[in-house]
């Protein structure tokens, strides 16, 4: 029979001192000394909804010179909907910096656990 513990800290302490042990903690738990693997328990309804979106600032020099394109980023979203990290996957690096700065301020719908998603942000060039 698996061992049952009352709180996340007890689970983490048990796993840390017991070779080969694994445990389950809540998605919002902050534990140290053990490796955490987040599970996506999405309900199958697709990506997490964006609640608050900040548009990226289009760098003037690129916009005036008709330099545009699409930037792709990977966003790590905490269970609480706050963006925890943004990684540039593709696109112009200068536009990528602008896109990542904006996405860091987005807020997503709350979820059961930390998730990642890919976002494409277009920059329409005009002369």
With a cut of 70, list the residues of the chain below it in pLDDT.
Answer: 1, 27-29, 36-46, 126-127
User: Structure tokens of 125?
Assistant: 């060039």
User: Which pLDDT does position 118 carry in this prediction?
Assistant: 93
| One-letter-per-residue 3-state SS of the chain | CCCCCCCHHHHHHHHHHCCCCCCCCCCCCCCCCCCCCCCCCCCCCCCCCEEECCCCCCCHHHHHCCCCEEEEEEEEECCCCEEEEEEEEECCHHHHHHHHHHHCCCEECCCCCCEEEEEEEEECCCC
User: Which pLDDT does position 38 carry in this prediction?
Assistant: 59
User: Which pLDDT does position 85 carry in this prediction?
Assistant: 96
Domains and CATH numbers, the chain: 1-37 (no CATH), 50-123 (3.30.2420.10)
Cα–Cα distance, 73 to 77 (Å, whole number): 12
pTM over 0.85: no
């Amino acid at each position: 029979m698996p061992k049952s513990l009352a709180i996340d800290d007890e689970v983490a302490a048990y796993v840390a001192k017991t070779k080969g042990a694994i445990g389950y903690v809540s998605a919002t738990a902050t534990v140290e000394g053990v490796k955490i693997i987040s599970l996506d328990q999405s309900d199958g309804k697709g990506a997490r909804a964006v609640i608050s979106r900040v548009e990226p600032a289009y760098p003037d020099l690129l916009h005036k010179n008709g330099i545009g394109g699409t930037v792709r980023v990977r966003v790590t979203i905490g269970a609480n909907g706050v963006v925890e990290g943004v990684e540039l996957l593709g696109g112009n690096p200068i536009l990528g910096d602008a896109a990542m700065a904006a996405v860091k301020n987005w807020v997503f719908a709350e979820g059961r656990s930390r998730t990642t998603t890919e976002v494409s942000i277009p920059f329409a060039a005009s002369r």
